[in-house]
Structure 1
Amino acid sequence: MPPWLSPITRPLLLAALLLAGAAQADEAGSKHLAPGFTARPAGSKLVVIPADMELYSISAGGVVEPRADWTESAQKNMGTALEAQRKLLGPDVTTMDAAAADELAEVITLEQAVAKAIAMHHRNGGMELQTKSRQLDWSMGDAVRALKERTGADYALFTWVRDTYASSERKMAMLALALMGAISVGGEQVAHASLVDLNTGRVVWFNQVSRLWGDLRDPGTATETVEVLLKDFPALK
Protein backbone atom coordinates (compact mmCIF):
# COMPACT_ATOMS: atom_id res chain seq x y z
CA MET A 1 0.00 0.00 0.00
CA PRO A 2 1.14 3.61 -0.51
CA PRO A 3 3.42 4.76 2.34
CA TRP A 4 1.33 7.89 2.90
CA LEU A 5 -1.61 5.89 4.29
CA SER A 6 -1.91 6.21 8.04
CA PRO A 7 -2.04 3.18 10.38
CA ILE A 8 -5.76 3.88 10.80
CA THR A 9 -6.54 4.30 7.10
CA ARG A 10 -4.72 1.19 5.94
CA PRO A 11 -6.98 -1.37 7.71
CA LEU A 12 -10.09 0.50 6.54
CA LEU A 13 -8.91 0.51 2.94
CA LEU A 14 -7.98 -3.17 3.12
CA ALA A 15 -11.42 -4.03 4.52
CA ALA A 16 -13.10 -2.03 1.75
CA LEU A 17 -11.09 -3.86 -0.91
CA LEU A 18 -11.98 -7.25 0.57
CA LEU A 19 -15.67 -6.35 0.69
CA ALA A 20 -15.58 -5.13 -2.90
CA GLY A 21 -13.93 -8.37 -4.01
CA ALA A 22 -16.50 -10.46 -2.18
CA ALA A 23 -19.36 -8.45 -3.69
CA GLN A 24 -17.90 -8.89 -7.16
CA ALA A 25 -17.60 -12.65 -6.62
CA ASP A 26 -21.21 -12.83 -5.39
CA GLU A 27 -22.39 -10.88 -8.44
CA ALA A 28 -20.50 -13.24 -10.76
CA GLY A 29 -22.04 -16.26 -9.04
CA SER A 30 -25.55 -14.79 -9.05
CA LYS A 31 -25.23 -14.19 -12.79
CA HIS A 32 -25.49 -17.95 -13.20
CA LEU A 33 -28.45 -18.40 -10.82
CA ALA A 34 -32.11 -17.44 -10.88
CA PRO A 35 -33.25 -14.93 -8.23
CA GLY A 36 -33.72 -16.61 -4.88
CA PHE A 37 -32.17 -19.89 -5.99
CA THR A 38 -28.96 -21.01 -4.31
CA ALA A 39 -28.90 -24.82 -4.22
CA ARG A 40 -30.81 -27.98 -5.06
CA PRO A 41 -32.58 -29.69 -2.16
CA ALA A 42 -30.87 -32.78 -0.81
CA GLY A 43 -32.54 -35.86 -2.21
CA SER A 44 -33.70 -34.16 -5.41
CA LYS A 45 -33.42 -36.13 -8.64
CA LEU A 46 -31.59 -34.94 -11.76
CA VAL A 47 -32.01 -36.15 -15.33
CA VAL A 48 -29.30 -35.40 -17.90
CA ILE A 49 -30.69 -34.79 -21.38
CA PRO A 50 -28.52 -35.96 -24.32
CA ALA A 51 -26.39 -33.08 -25.55
CA ASP A 52 -27.42 -31.28 -28.71
CA MET A 53 -23.99 -31.45 -30.31
CA GLU A 54 -22.47 -30.90 -33.73
CA LEU A 55 -18.81 -30.86 -34.74
CA TYR A 56 -17.61 -29.32 -37.99
CA SER A 57 -14.50 -29.12 -40.14
CA ILE A 58 -13.49 -25.86 -41.81
CA SER A 59 -12.12 -26.36 -45.33
CA ALA A 60 -9.29 -24.36 -46.89
CA GLY A 61 -11.86 -22.01 -48.42
CA GLY A 62 -13.64 -21.49 -45.11
CA VAL A 63 -16.58 -23.80 -45.83
CA VAL A 64 -17.99 -25.39 -42.66
CA GLU A 65 -18.76 -29.09 -43.12
CA PRO A 66 -20.44 -31.36 -40.52
CA ARG A 67 -18.46 -34.38 -39.33
CA ALA A 68 -20.72 -37.14 -38.00
CA ASP A 69 -17.75 -39.27 -36.91
CA TRP A 70 -16.33 -36.46 -34.80
CA THR A 71 -19.74 -35.75 -33.30
CA GLU A 72 -20.23 -39.39 -32.32
CA SER A 73 -16.82 -39.49 -30.65
CA ALA A 74 -17.47 -36.19 -28.87
CA GLN A 75 -20.83 -37.44 -27.55
CA LYS A 76 -19.08 -40.40 -25.94
CA ASN A 77 -16.31 -38.24 -24.49
CA MET A 78 -18.76 -35.73 -23.07
CA GLY A 79 -20.88 -38.51 -21.59
CA THR A 80 -17.81 -39.92 -19.86
CA ALA A 81 -16.80 -36.46 -18.63
CA LEU A 82 -20.28 -35.86 -17.20
CA GLU A 83 -20.18 -39.24 -15.47
CA ALA A 84 -16.92 -38.15 -13.83
CA GLN A 85 -18.83 -35.19 -12.37
CA ARG A 86 -21.11 -37.49 -10.37
CA LYS A 87 -20.01 -35.93 -7.07
CA LEU A 88 -21.06 -32.50 -8.32
CA LEU A 89 -24.27 -33.64 -10.01
CA GLY A 90 -25.41 -35.74 -7.06
CA PRO A 91 -26.12 -39.40 -6.27
CA ASP A 92 -29.59 -39.56 -7.84
CA VAL A 93 -28.78 -38.88 -11.49
CA THR A 94 -30.10 -40.60 -14.60
CA THR A 95 -29.18 -40.05 -18.23
CA MET A 96 -31.98 -39.99 -20.76
CA ASP A 97 -31.41 -42.19 -23.80
CA ALA A 98 -31.70 -40.92 -27.36
CA ALA A 99 -35.02 -42.71 -28.02
CA ALA A 100 -36.72 -41.05 -25.05
CA ALA A 101 -35.25 -37.69 -26.07
CA ASP A 102 -36.75 -38.09 -29.54
CA GLU A 103 -40.19 -38.63 -28.00
CA LEU A 104 -39.78 -35.42 -26.00
CA ALA A 105 -38.37 -33.44 -28.92
CA GLU A 106 -40.88 -30.59 -28.55
CA VAL A 107 -39.86 -29.92 -24.95
CA ILE A 108 -36.16 -30.12 -25.79
CA THR A 109 -36.60 -27.81 -28.79
CA LEU A 110 -38.37 -25.27 -26.59
CA GLU A 111 -35.52 -25.41 -24.07
CA GLN A 112 -33.03 -24.77 -26.86
CA ALA A 113 -34.96 -21.68 -27.91
CA VAL A 114 -35.06 -20.38 -24.33
CA ALA A 115 -31.37 -21.14 -23.81
CA LYS A 116 -30.40 -19.30 -26.99
CA ALA A 117 -32.42 -16.29 -25.83
CA ILE A 118 -30.61 -16.38 -22.48
CA ALA A 119 -27.24 -16.64 -24.21
CA MET A 120 -28.09 -13.62 -26.33
CA HIS A 121 -29.81 -11.37 -23.80
CA HIS A 122 -28.61 -12.40 -20.34
CA ARG A 123 -24.89 -13.01 -20.73
CA ASN A 124 -24.32 -10.60 -23.62
CA GLY A 125 -23.59 -7.16 -22.17
CA GLY A 126 -24.65 -5.32 -25.31
CA MET A 127 -28.04 -7.00 -25.69
CA GLU A 128 -29.36 -7.28 -22.14
CA LEU A 129 -33.12 -6.91 -21.70
CA GLN A 130 -34.01 -4.11 -19.31
CA THR A 131 -37.17 -5.97 -18.28
CA LYS A 132 -34.99 -8.73 -16.82
CA SER A 133 -32.98 -6.32 -14.65
CA ARG A 134 -29.83 -8.37 -15.38
CA GLN A 135 -31.36 -11.35 -13.59
CA LEU A 136 -31.68 -14.93 -14.77
CA ASP A 137 -35.46 -14.70 -14.93
CA TRP A 138 -36.53 -17.19 -17.58
CA SER A 139 -39.03 -20.04 -17.60
CA MET A 140 -40.36 -22.85 -19.78
CA GLY A 141 -43.67 -22.86 -17.93
CA ASP A 142 -45.94 -25.89 -18.03
CA ALA A 143 -44.13 -27.29 -21.08
CA VAL A 144 -41.82 -29.24 -18.75
CA ARG A 145 -44.71 -31.28 -17.35
CA ALA A 146 -44.23 -34.06 -19.91
CA LEU A 147 -40.56 -34.33 -18.99
CA LYS A 148 -41.43 -34.41 -15.29
CA GLU A 149 -44.02 -37.15 -15.79
CA ARG A 150 -41.72 -39.20 -17.99
CA THR A 151 -38.66 -39.11 -15.72
CA GLY A 152 -39.91 -38.30 -12.23
CA ALA A 153 -36.94 -35.95 -11.91
CA ASP A 154 -36.93 -32.62 -10.10
CA TYR A 155 -34.35 -31.02 -12.37
CA ALA A 156 -33.12 -31.48 -15.94
CA LEU A 157 -29.67 -30.60 -17.25
CA PHE A 158 -29.57 -29.52 -20.90
CA THR A 159 -26.39 -28.93 -22.92
CA TRP A 160 -25.78 -27.52 -26.40
CA VAL A 161 -22.40 -27.60 -28.16
CA ARG A 162 -21.07 -26.46 -31.52
CA ASP A 163 -17.37 -27.05 -32.23
CA THR A 164 -15.48 -26.17 -35.40
CA TYR A 165 -11.95 -27.29 -36.26
CA ALA A 166 -9.63 -26.07 -38.99
CA SER A 167 -8.65 -28.81 -41.44
CA SER A 168 -5.00 -29.30 -42.40
CA GLU A 169 -5.68 -27.44 -45.65
CA ARG A 170 -7.32 -24.62 -43.70
CA LYS A 171 -4.31 -24.33 -41.40
CA MET A 172 -2.00 -24.05 -44.42
CA ALA A 173 -4.24 -21.38 -45.91
CA MET A 174 -4.24 -19.48 -42.60
CA LEU A 175 -0.45 -19.61 -42.51
CA ALA A 176 -0.22 -18.28 -46.06
CA LEU A 177 -2.64 -15.46 -45.25
CA ALA A 178 -0.70 -14.63 -42.09
CA LEU A 179 2.50 -14.28 -44.11
CA MET A 180 0.67 -11.72 -46.24
CA GLY A 181 -0.46 -9.84 -43.14
CA ALA A 182 -4.05 -11.08 -43.15
CA ILE A 183 -5.75 -12.55 -40.10
CA SER A 184 -8.13 -15.49 -40.43
CA VAL A 185 -9.98 -17.47 -37.79
CA GLY A 186 -9.64 -21.20 -37.27
CA GLY A 187 -11.89 -23.27 -35.04
CA GLU A 188 -14.21 -22.15 -32.27
CA GLN A 189 -16.01 -23.79 -29.36
CA VAL A 190 -19.45 -22.47 -28.41
CA ALA A 191 -21.55 -24.20 -25.75
CA HIS A 192 -24.13 -23.53 -23.09
CA ALA A 193 -25.80 -25.51 -20.32
CA SER A 194 -28.95 -24.90 -18.33
CA LEU A 195 -30.61 -26.45 -15.30
CA VAL A 196 -34.41 -26.41 -15.36
CA ASP A 197 -36.65 -26.96 -12.35
CA LEU A 198 -39.21 -29.49 -13.59
CA ASN A 199 -41.63 -28.59 -10.80
CA THR A 200 -41.89 -24.93 -11.82
CA GLY A 201 -40.40 -24.70 -15.32
CA ARG A 202 -37.86 -22.08 -14.19
CA VAL A 203 -34.33 -22.00 -15.55
CA VAL A 204 -32.47 -21.88 -12.24
CA TRP A 205 -28.88 -22.01 -13.52
CA PHE A 206 -27.20 -21.16 -16.82
CA ASN A 207 -23.65 -21.00 -18.11
CA GLN A 208 -22.04 -20.63 -21.49
CA VAL A 209 -18.64 -21.02 -23.12
CA SER A 210 -17.36 -19.20 -26.20
CA ARG A 211 -13.68 -19.53 -27.03
CA LEU A 212 -11.15 -20.32 -29.75
CA TRP A 213 -9.86 -23.53 -28.16
CA GLY A 214 -11.16 -26.81 -26.77
CA ASP A 215 -11.42 -30.20 -28.47
CA LEU A 216 -14.23 -32.60 -27.59
CA ARG A 217 -12.69 -35.23 -29.84
CA ASP A 218 -10.07 -35.79 -27.15
CA PRO A 219 -11.20 -37.33 -23.82
CA GLY A 220 -8.83 -35.18 -21.77
CA THR A 221 -9.85 -31.84 -23.23
CA ALA A 222 -13.50 -32.94 -23.22
CA THR A 223 -13.20 -33.28 -19.45
CA GLU A 224 -11.84 -29.73 -19.23
CA THR A 225 -14.71 -28.42 -21.38
CA VAL A 226 -17.32 -30.04 -19.12
CA GLU A 227 -15.61 -28.65 -16.02
CA VAL A 228 -15.72 -25.13 -17.47
CA LEU A 229 -19.30 -25.57 -18.66
CA LEU A 230 -20.45 -26.67 -15.20
CA LYS A 231 -18.90 -23.68 -13.45
CA ASP A 232 -20.97 -22.65 -10.39
CA PHE A 233 -23.35 -25.58 -10.92
CA PRO A 234 -25.77 -25.64 -7.94
CA ALA A 235 -24.78 -28.07 -5.22
CA LEU A 236 -27.12 -30.23 -3.16
CA LYS A 237 -27.99 -28.90 0.30
Structure 2
Amino acid sequence: MKGPLVAGHDTLPWFYVDVEAVPLSGLLTLTDPDLLQHMTVMRLVPGDAVVLVSEAPDGPQLCQCQIRQLDRRQATVEVTAVLPVPEALPINLTLVCALIKQSHWDWVLQKLTELGVAKIVPLQARRSVVQAGRDAAKKHQRWCSIVRHAGQQSQQARRPELSDVLPDVQTFVDSLAQAQTSPSNQWVAVARRQGTVQVAAVPLHQAVAQLPQAAALTVAVGPEGGWTDDEISAMVAGGFLPVWFGPSVMRSETAAVYV
Protein backbone atom coordinates (compact mmCIF):
# COMPACT_ATOMS: atom_id res chain seq x y z
CA MET A 1 0.00 0.00 0.00
CA LYS A 2 1.21 3.47 -0.82
CA GLY A 3 0.10 6.95 0.11
CA PRO A 4 -1.20 8.55 3.28
CA LEU A 5 -4.61 8.20 4.85
CA VAL A 6 -6.65 11.12 3.58
CA ALA A 7 -7.79 13.37 6.41
CA GLY A 8 -11.57 13.30 6.66
CA HIS A 9 -11.74 10.04 4.76
CA ASP A 10 -15.30 9.63 6.01
CA THR A 11 -16.30 12.32 3.51
CA LEU A 12 -14.91 10.39 0.54
CA PRO A 13 -17.37 8.76 -1.88
CA TRP A 14 -18.08 5.11 -1.13
CA PHE A 15 -18.56 2.38 -3.72
CA TYR A 16 -19.52 -1.26 -3.28
CA VAL A 17 -17.44 -3.66 -5.35
CA ASP A 18 -18.45 -7.19 -6.24
CA VAL A 19 -15.26 -8.88 -5.10
CA GLU A 20 -14.72 -10.90 -1.93
CA ALA A 21 -11.56 -8.97 -1.08
CA VAL A 22 -9.80 -5.91 -2.45
CA PRO A 23 -6.13 -6.73 -3.19
CA LEU A 24 -3.94 -4.79 -0.76
CA SER A 25 -1.07 -4.59 -3.23
CA GLY A 26 -1.03 -3.89 -6.92
CA LEU A 27 -3.88 -2.47 -8.96
CA LEU A 28 -7.56 -3.38 -9.11
CA THR A 29 -9.54 -2.92 -12.32
CA LEU A 30 -13.23 -2.07 -11.98
CA THR A 31 -15.63 -2.56 -14.89
CA ASP A 32 -19.09 -2.37 -13.29
CA PRO A 33 -21.09 0.03 -15.54
CA ASP A 34 -23.14 1.42 -12.65
CA LEU A 35 -20.03 2.18 -10.60
CA LEU A 36 -18.28 3.81 -13.56
CA GLN A 37 -21.33 5.93 -14.31
CA HIS A 38 -21.45 7.21 -10.75
CA MET A 39 -17.75 8.01 -10.78
CA THR A 40 -18.32 9.99 -13.97
CA VAL A 41 -21.37 11.80 -12.57
CA MET A 42 -19.34 12.75 -9.50
CA ARG A 43 -16.63 14.11 -11.83
CA LEU A 44 -13.93 11.97 -10.26
CA VAL A 45 -10.56 12.00 -11.98
CA PRO A 46 -7.25 10.15 -11.60
CA GLY A 47 -5.65 11.13 -8.32
CA ASP A 48 -8.94 11.36 -6.44
CA ALA A 49 -9.46 9.16 -3.38
CA VAL A 50 -12.46 6.87 -2.87
CA VAL A 51 -13.51 4.17 -0.42
CA LEU A 52 -14.23 0.68 -1.76
CA VAL A 53 -16.37 -1.73 0.24
CA SER A 54 -16.15 -5.44 -0.49
CA GLU A 55 -18.19 -8.18 1.14
CA ALA A 56 -15.68 -10.79 2.27
CA PRO A 57 -16.94 -14.09 3.74
CA ASP A 58 -15.82 -13.03 7.22
CA GLY A 59 -17.32 -9.54 6.99
CA PRO A 60 -17.04 -6.29 5.02
CA GLN A 61 -13.69 -4.82 4.07
CA LEU A 62 -13.14 -1.07 3.70
CA CYS A 63 -10.21 0.26 1.72
CA GLN A 64 -9.22 3.79 0.86
CA CYS A 65 -8.04 3.81 -2.73
CA GLN A 66 -6.60 6.26 -5.22
CA ILE A 67 -7.88 6.34 -8.77
CA ARG A 68 -5.02 5.73 -11.18
CA GLN A 69 -6.99 5.58 -14.42
CA LEU A 70 -10.64 6.22 -15.30
CA ASP A 71 -12.64 6.14 -18.51
CA ARG A 72 -16.07 4.93 -19.62
CA ARG A 73 -14.97 1.32 -19.86
CA GLN A 74 -12.98 0.80 -16.67
CA ALA A 75 -11.33 2.32 -13.64
CA THR A 76 -8.01 1.31 -12.14
CA VAL A 77 -7.44 1.94 -8.45
CA GLU A 78 -4.73 1.25 -5.88
CA VAL A 79 -5.26 0.68 -2.16
CA THR A 80 -3.62 3.33 0.01
CA ALA A 81 -5.06 2.38 3.41
CA VAL A 82 -7.26 -0.21 5.10
CA LEU A 83 -10.01 1.47 7.11
CA PRO A 84 -11.69 0.27 10.31
CA VAL A 85 -15.11 -1.27 9.81
CA PRO A 86 -17.87 0.42 11.86
CA GLU A 87 -19.57 -1.81 14.38
CA ALA A 88 -22.90 -3.32 13.40
CA LEU A 89 -26.08 -2.37 15.22
CA PRO A 90 -26.55 -4.19 18.55
CA ILE A 91 -29.81 -5.65 17.22
CA ASN A 92 -29.86 -7.71 14.03
CA LEU A 93 -33.10 -6.34 12.59
CA THR A 94 -35.17 -7.93 9.83
CA LEU A 95 -38.08 -5.87 8.48
CA VAL A 96 -40.87 -7.79 6.76
CA CYS A 97 -42.67 -5.11 4.76
CA ALA A 98 -45.91 -5.58 2.88
CA LEU A 99 -45.72 -4.10 -0.61
CA ILE A 100 -46.99 -0.52 -0.89
CA LYS A 101 -47.12 2.12 -3.62
CA GLN A 102 -43.90 2.38 -5.61
CA SER A 103 -42.80 5.87 -4.56
CA HIS A 104 -43.42 5.06 -0.89
CA TRP A 105 -41.73 1.67 -1.26
CA ASP A 106 -38.62 3.23 -2.77
CA TRP A 107 -38.47 5.62 0.18
CA VAL A 108 -38.78 2.72 2.65
CA LEU A 109 -35.89 0.87 1.00
CA GLN A 110 -33.71 3.97 1.15
CA LYS A 111 -34.45 4.75 4.79
CA LEU A 112 -34.14 1.19 6.06
CA THR A 113 -30.76 0.97 4.35
CA GLU A 114 -29.63 4.26 5.86
CA LEU A 115 -30.73 3.07 9.31
CA GLY A 116 -28.66 -0.11 9.10
CA VAL A 117 -31.36 -2.79 8.90
CA ALA A 118 -29.86 -6.25 8.34
CA LYS A 119 -32.55 -7.72 6.08
CA ILE A 120 -35.62 -6.54 4.17
CA VAL A 121 -38.32 -9.04 3.22
CA PRO A 122 -40.95 -7.79 0.71
CA LEU A 123 -44.30 -9.48 1.25
CA GLN A 124 -47.42 -9.68 -0.90
CA ALA A 125 -50.13 -9.03 1.69
CA ARG A 126 -53.83 -9.54 1.04
CA ARG A 127 -54.48 -5.79 0.97
CA SER A 128 -51.33 -4.73 -0.84
CA VAL A 129 -52.30 -2.26 -3.57
CA VAL A 130 -49.18 -3.14 -5.55
CA GLN A 131 -48.75 -6.63 -7.00
CA ALA A 132 -45.33 -8.09 -7.74
CA GLY A 133 -46.69 -9.59 -10.95
CA ARG A 134 -44.77 -11.06 -13.84
CA ASP A 135 -42.04 -8.43 -13.69
CA ALA A 136 -41.11 -9.34 -10.10
CA ALA A 137 -37.52 -10.12 -11.10
CA LYS A 138 -37.15 -6.76 -12.84
CA LYS A 139 -38.59 -4.96 -9.82
CA HIS A 140 -36.26 -6.82 -7.48
CA GLN A 141 -33.26 -5.80 -9.58
CA ARG A 142 -34.37 -2.18 -9.37
CA TRP A 143 -34.88 -2.43 -5.61
CA CYS A 144 -31.38 -3.87 -5.19
CA SER A 145 -30.03 -0.85 -7.06
CA ILE A 146 -31.90 1.49 -4.69
CA VAL A 147 -30.44 -0.32 -1.67
CA ARG A 148 -26.97 -0.21 -3.18
CA HIS A 149 -27.07 3.53 -3.87
CA ALA A 150 -28.59 4.32 -0.47
CA GLY A 151 -25.90 2.27 1.25
CA GLN A 152 -23.12 4.04 -0.62
CA GLN A 153 -24.57 7.46 0.08
CA SER A 154 -25.05 6.77 3.79
CA GLN A 155 -21.70 4.94 4.09
CA GLN A 156 -23.08 1.64 5.30
CA ALA A 157 -20.42 -1.04 5.47
CA ARG A 158 -23.15 -3.69 5.53
CA ARG A 159 -25.92 -3.58 2.96
CA PRO A 160 -29.29 -5.06 3.91
CA GLU A 161 -30.03 -8.42 2.40
CA LEU A 162 -33.06 -7.98 0.15
CA SER A 163 -35.04 -11.18 -0.25
CA ASP A 164 -37.38 -12.13 -3.07
CA VAL A 165 -41.03 -11.17 -2.73
CA LEU A 166 -42.97 -13.69 -0.66
CA PRO A 167 -46.44 -14.40 -2.12
CA ASP A 168 -48.40 -14.35 1.15
CA VAL A 169 -48.17 -14.37 4.93
CA GLN A 170 -48.58 -18.13 5.31
CA THR A 171 -45.62 -18.77 2.99
CA PHE A 172 -43.56 -16.41 5.13
CA VAL A 173 -44.57 -18.12 8.39
CA ASP A 174 -43.90 -21.56 6.90
CA SER A 175 -40.43 -20.44 5.74
CA LEU A 176 -39.55 -19.43 9.29
CA ALA A 177 -40.72 -22.79 10.60
CA GLN A 178 -38.63 -24.64 8.02
CA ALA A 179 -35.60 -22.56 8.94
CA GLN A 180 -36.27 -23.34 12.62
CA THR A 181 -36.10 -19.64 13.40
CA SER A 182 -36.56 -18.84 17.08
CA PRO A 183 -39.91 -17.07 17.58
CA SER A 184 -38.79 -15.34 20.77
CA ASN A 185 -38.16 -12.00 19.05
CA GLN A 186 -40.75 -11.81 16.28
CA TRP A 187 -43.22 -8.93 16.26
CA VAL A 188 -46.11 -8.02 14.01
CA ALA A 189 -47.21 -4.39 14.02
CA VAL A 190 -50.96 -4.16 14.58
CA ALA A 191 -53.60 -1.56 15.27
CA ARG A 192 -55.22 -1.56 18.70
CA ARG A 193 -58.35 -2.92 17.06
CA GLN A 194 -57.68 -5.24 14.11
CA GLY A 195 -60.81 -5.46 11.97
CA THR A 196 -63.58 -6.76 14.22
CA VAL A 197 -61.11 -8.38 16.61
CA GLN A 198 -59.68 -6.77 19.72
CA VAL A 199 -55.97 -7.59 19.58
CA ALA A 200 -54.07 -8.25 22.80
CA ALA A 201 -51.08 -6.20 21.64
CA VAL A 202 -48.05 -5.22 23.70
CA PRO A 203 -47.05 -1.52 23.58
CA LEU A 204 -43.85 -0.97 21.62
CA HIS A 205 -41.90 0.50 24.55
CA GLN A 206 -42.70 -2.56 26.65
CA ALA A 207 -41.64 -4.98 23.91
CA VAL A 208 -38.36 -3.08 23.44
CA ALA A 209 -37.64 -3.17 27.18
CA GLN A 210 -37.93 -6.96 27.15
CA LEU A 211 -35.44 -7.46 24.31
CA PRO A 212 -32.15 -9.09 25.32
CA GLN A 213 -28.90 -7.41 24.32
CA ALA A 214 -27.45 -8.36 20.93
CA ALA A 215 -30.81 -9.80 19.92
CA ALA A 216 -32.06 -10.79 16.49
CA LEU A 217 -35.45 -9.19 15.87
CA THR A 218 -37.99 -9.66 13.07
CA VAL A 219 -40.78 -7.10 12.67
CA ALA A 220 -43.65 -7.41 10.17
CA VAL A 221 -45.34 -4.21 8.98
CA GLY A 222 -48.57 -4.34 6.98
CA PRO A 223 -49.83 -2.55 3.84
CA GLU A 224 -51.90 0.62 3.52
CA GLY A 225 -55.12 -1.18 4.43
CA GLY A 226 -53.58 -3.10 7.31
CA TRP A 227 -53.34 -6.84 7.89
CA THR A 228 -56.43 -9.01 7.58
CA ASP A 229 -57.59 -10.92 10.64
CA ASP A 230 -56.47 -14.17 8.98
CA GLU A 231 -52.97 -12.79 8.40
CA ILE A 232 -52.69 -11.68 12.02
CA SER A 233 -53.89 -15.10 13.18
CA ALA A 234 -51.36 -16.89 10.96
CA MET A 235 -48.46 -14.84 12.32
CA VAL A 236 -49.56 -15.17 15.93
CA ALA A 237 -49.86 -18.94 15.41
CA GLY A 238 -46.32 -18.84 14.02
CA GLY A 239 -44.99 -17.24 17.18
CA PHE A 240 -45.28 -13.53 16.40
CA LEU A 241 -46.05 -11.11 19.21
CA PRO A 242 -48.63 -8.45 18.29
CA VAL A 243 -47.08 -5.06 19.02
CA TRP A 244 -48.93 -1.75 19.15
CA PHE A 245 -46.99 1.30 17.97
CA GLY A 246 -49.20 3.88 19.68
CA PRO A 247 -52.47 5.78 19.32
CA SER A 248 -51.52 7.50 16.05
CA VAL A 249 -52.65 5.97 12.77
CA MET A 250 -49.37 5.57 10.88
CA ARG A 251 -48.79 5.14 7.19
CA SER A 252 -47.11 1.86 6.29
CA GLU A 253 -43.87 3.58 5.35
CA THR A 254 -43.85 5.49 8.65
CA ALA A 255 -44.36 2.31 10.67
CA ALA A 256 -41.53 0.59 8.80
CA VAL A 257 -38.95 3.18 9.86
CA TYR A 258 -40.53 3.85 13.27
CA VAL A 259 -39.12 0.61 14.65
- Scaled by the length of structure 2, the TM-score of the pair is 0.26
Higher helix share: 1
Q: Whose relative contact order is higher, 1 or 2, with alpha carbons under 8 Å and at least 6 apart? A: 1
